[in-house]
């Protein structure tokens, strides 16, 4: 055990309070992660590895940070009698300010959303905590008190820091003398967690969870029984135990794929992401030739809490010739693939490369293009398993939908990956691909039909679908706010154009051939009624026309061919953009009983009331509010009174 755990500490420790979110997280971790308690060791060793990575990178430009000790390693020690376990690294270390900022608060985006989703069910909350990441605070799963001794490389020995907490409301921090750079975390184990002060148990856990760490994780040699001494011989001098490496200490991505087991890949993902759920899929690839690099890419099983924050840290962990350069290198994948985790190790970049230089480097652009195609190919293969792909789509589908606008070069790879609900699916299942739709198209059908609405139920019950049900034509039901934006960028698939059934005049092509002549005659046949309706609705509509798209409803609203759709308009308005005025087209079904009643109405007040009620009903069917709900109710009441009298 390091003597830092027992050294006399100077007085004058500063006591500070944890951020509220930290207190909540600590309580939840202690009570929700008990069945996964051994992950604390993986988390602490991962943190130690990151610290060593960061020192190695900073030492490239400032070798004095190594302080005449170039060895980068992690040591795990225990004391069974004292019930303590310590993890020491010779990495970058922390200053006093670093300690307060990093161990007293959670600066991670999405914290509020994370805490709001907790249910109080320990098992469910454990899964959520796994998506959020546990890190240093996992120490308190097994310890009732934790101490940390650290000094940042480059600072003087007098600027060491001691941090201590019982994992409740407060922590103390004080300045100490610390000759060596790096960090030691000392866990005072709970009485029922003394199993972790056992060499055999610790070695097994290190080999299981941290064998892939690129730095040696060392423990003291296990003592061996002394050999028997022959009579008359002197007892051999007892040799002090030395530290020996427990793990293979070889970066996993540098090994051949055939030498890496699935379990090792899974544990490396957890090391990278601080997620304790297994990844859904991974791809390990080495490229040689004009450009040389290795990539190891993972698809998570669950979306992180900050996925919708486009400004949150994202991207791959970047290495150059096995030297860590930066976390969250977002230049290697487009934003719509921000959920991908992994490592890229390039042999062509400079060790002094910065984020700004990465944006201008031709090697980076080439790697980005190749990695993007690789991820999309991974998804294409995953899509062959409908159940697994549906699980992926439920988590990440709406992020992937950002792709067509951002990545024109990969439209053909992206389009088959999208899934939507349709009139041929149950409830709100989003499992219809473009390939499925095209395979089910009618013989004379040459278009892919869709409708946009605010919800699945609003889309499925839209009056615009009536003629499609009559002719058994499948229609995609798009209810996510981004869907309309996606279809604007996916103009066609397999030679079939996308058509919004709620926009413009309906043209069913050869499928609706028998309706074409009657549709042309409808407006002339109902000319007088259309003129009366136009006069009544003047100022609220672009035009009134008769239609054959309706079979059960008296009327519907249609967007003009060149107007912006409802979802796009709302998205633009929500972003603060002023939008030009847009008025709908009012279409009527001349064969409907209410429309015939309207046509025969001679009382202008009742005609106006009925017209306005039909118009507001059509608005409601589109998910819009009547212009004046109170007036709508009054008109409806007058009509009901007339009917009852």
* Domain containing residue 299: CATH number: 3.30.230.80
Domain count along the chain: 4
CATH of the domain at 583: 1.20.120.790
Distance between CA atoms of 325 and 342, rounded to whole angstroms?
A: 14
DSSP run (H or E) holding 183: strand 182-189
pLDDT at 8 over 70: no
Provide the domain limits for residue 380.
Answer: 252-396
- Flag whether 406 is in a domain: no
**Tokens 């395979």 found at:** 439
**Residue bearing the bigger pLDDT, 126 or 18:** 18
Q: Report the percentage of the chain scoring pLDDT > 90.
A: 45
**Residue bearing the bigger pLDDT, 230 or 212:** 212
pLDDT at 7 over 60: no
Mark whether 103 and 131 lie in a shared domain. yes
Mark whether 108 and 22 lie in a shared domain. yes
pLDDT tens for residues 471-516?
A: 999 999 998 888 888 888 877 777 888 889 988 888 776 665 555 5
pLDDT at 517 over 90: no
Q: Summarize the confidence of residues 548-565 as an average pLDDT.
A: 87
Distance between CA atoms of 327 and 313, rounded to whole angstroms?
A: 9
Mark whether 479 and 565 lie in a shared domain. no
pLDDT at 72 over 60: yes
**With bands split at pLDDT 50, 70 and 90, how would you rate the model's confidence at 351?**
confident
Mark whether 607 and 505 lie in a shared domain. no
pLDDT at 317 over 50: yes
Mark whether 458 and 607 lie in a shared domain. no
**With bands split at pLDDT 50, 70 and 90, how would you rate the model's confidence at 640?**
confident
At residue 505, the pLDDT reads 83
At residue 134, the pLDDT reads 62
Q: Summarize the confidence of residues 208-213 as an average pLDDT.
A: 86
Mark whether 44 and 91 lie in a shared domain. yes
- Flag whether 450 is in a domain: yes
Mark whether 262 and 342 lie in a shared domain. yes
Mark whether 437 and 337 lie in a shared domain. no
Q: What strands lie across the sheet with 84-89, from one edge to the other?
A: 14-17, 170-176, 160-165, 143-151, 182-189, 84-89, 74-79, 217-220, 243-245
**Residue bearing the bigger pLDDT, 3 or 564:** 564
Q: Worst-scoring range by mean pLDDT, 354-363, 446-455, 523-532? A: 354-363
Mark whether 34 and 57 lie in a shared domain. yes
* pTM over the 0.85 mark: no
Distance between CA atoms of 171 and 392, rounded to whole angstroms?
A: 41
Residue whose C-alpha is closest to residue 281's, from 296, 303, 260: 296
Mark whether 59 and 194 lie in a shared domain. yes
Mark whether 487 and 532 lie in a shared domain. no
Q: Summarize the confidence of residues 156-179 as an average pLDDT.
A: 93
At residue 515, the pLDDT reads 55
Mark whether 450 and 388 lie in a shared domain. no
Residue whose C-alpha is closest to residue 307's, from 273, 351, 346: 273
Distance between CA atoms of 24 and 26, rounded to whole angstroms?
A: 6
**With bands split at pLDDT 50, 70 and 90, how would you rate the model's confidence at 138?**
confident
- Flag whether 492 is in a domain: yes
**Residue bearing the bigger pLDDT, 624 or 48:** 48
- Flag whether 107 is in a domain: yes
pLDDT at 122 over 60: no
Distance between CA atoms of 350 and 348, rounded to whole angstroms?
A: 7
Of 198, 221, 244, which residue sits at a domain end? 221
């Amino acid at each position: 055990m390091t003597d830092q755990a027992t050294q006399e500490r100077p007085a004058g420790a500063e006591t500070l309070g944890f951020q509220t979110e930290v207190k909540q997280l600590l309580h939840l971790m202690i009570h929700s992660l008990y069945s996964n308690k051994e992950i604390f060791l993986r988390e602490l060793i991962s943190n130690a590895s990151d610290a060593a990575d960061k020192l190695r990178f900073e030492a490239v430009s400032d070798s004095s940070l190594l302080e005449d000790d170039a060895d980068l390693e992690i040591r795990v020690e225990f004391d069974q009698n004292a019930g303590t376990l310590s993890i020491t690294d010779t990495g970058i270390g922390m200053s006093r300010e670093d300690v307060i900022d990093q161990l007293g608060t959670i600066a991670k985006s999405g914290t509020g959303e994370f805490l709001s989703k907790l249910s109080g069910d320990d098992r469910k909350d454990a899964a959520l905590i796994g998506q959020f990441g546990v890190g240093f605070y996992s120490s308190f799963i097994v310890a009732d008190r934790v101490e940390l001794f650290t000094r940042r490389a480059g600072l003087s020995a007098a600027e060491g820091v001691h941090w201590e907490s019982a994992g409740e409301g407060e922590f103390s921090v004080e300045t100490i003398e610390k000759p060596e750079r790096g960090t030691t975390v000392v866990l005072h184990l709970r009485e029922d967690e003394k199993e972790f002060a056992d060499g055999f148990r610790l070695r097994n856990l290190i080999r299981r969870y941290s064998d892939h760490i690129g730095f040696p994780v060392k423990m003291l040699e296990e003592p061996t029984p002394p050999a028997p001494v022959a009579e008359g011989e002197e007892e051999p001098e007892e040799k002090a135990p030395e530290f020996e490496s427990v793990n293979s200490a070889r970066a996993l991505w540098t090994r051949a794929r055939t030498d890496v087991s699935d379990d090792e890949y899974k544990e490396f993902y957890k090391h990278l992401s601080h997620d304790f759920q297994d990844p859904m899929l991974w791809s390990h690839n080495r490229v040689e030739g004009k450009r040389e690099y290795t990539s190891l890419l993972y698809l998570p099983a669950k979306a992180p809490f900050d996925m919708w924050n486009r400004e949150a840290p994202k991207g791959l962990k970047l290495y150059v010739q096995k030297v860590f350069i930066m976390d969250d290198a977002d230049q290697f994948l487009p934003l719509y693939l921000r959920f991908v985790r992994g490592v890229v190790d390039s042999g062509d970049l400079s060790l002094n490369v910065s984020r700004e230089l990465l944006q201008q480097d031709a090697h980076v652009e080439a790697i980005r293009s190749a990695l993007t195609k690789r991820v999309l190919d991974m998804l294409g293969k995953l899509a062959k398993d409908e159940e697994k792909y549906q699980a992926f789509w439920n988590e990440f589908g709406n992020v992937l939908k950002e792709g067509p606008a951002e990545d024109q070069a990969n439209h053909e790879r992206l389009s088959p990956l999208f899934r939507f609900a349709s009139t041929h699916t149950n409830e709100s299942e989003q499992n219809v691909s473009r390939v499925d739709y095209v395979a089910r198209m009618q013989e004379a059908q040459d278009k892919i039909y869709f409708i946009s609405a605010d919800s699945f139920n609003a889309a499925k019950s839209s009056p615009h679908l009536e003629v499609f049900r009559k002719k058994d034509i499948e229609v995609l039901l798009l209810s996510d706010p981004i869907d309309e934006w996606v279809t604007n960028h996916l103009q066609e698939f397999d030679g079939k154009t996308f058509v919004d059934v709620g926009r413009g005049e309906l043209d069913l092509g050869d499928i609706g051939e028998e309706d074409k002549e009657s549709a042309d005659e409808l407006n002339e046949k109902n000319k007088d009624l259309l003129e009366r309706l136009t006069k009544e609705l003047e100022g609220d509509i672009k035009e009134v026309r008769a239609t054959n798209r309706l079979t059960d409803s008296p009327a519907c609203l249609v967007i003009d061919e060149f107007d912006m759709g409802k979802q796009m308009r709302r998205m633009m308005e929500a972003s603060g953009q002023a939008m030009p005025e847009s008025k709908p087209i009012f279409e009527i079904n001349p064969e409907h009983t209410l429309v015939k009643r309207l046509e025969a109405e001679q009382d202008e007040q009742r005609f106006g009331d009925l017209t306005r009620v039909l118009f507001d009903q059509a608005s409601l069917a589109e998910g819009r509010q009547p212009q004046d709900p109170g007036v709508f109710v009054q008109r409806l009441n007058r009509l009901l009174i007339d009917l009852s009298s």
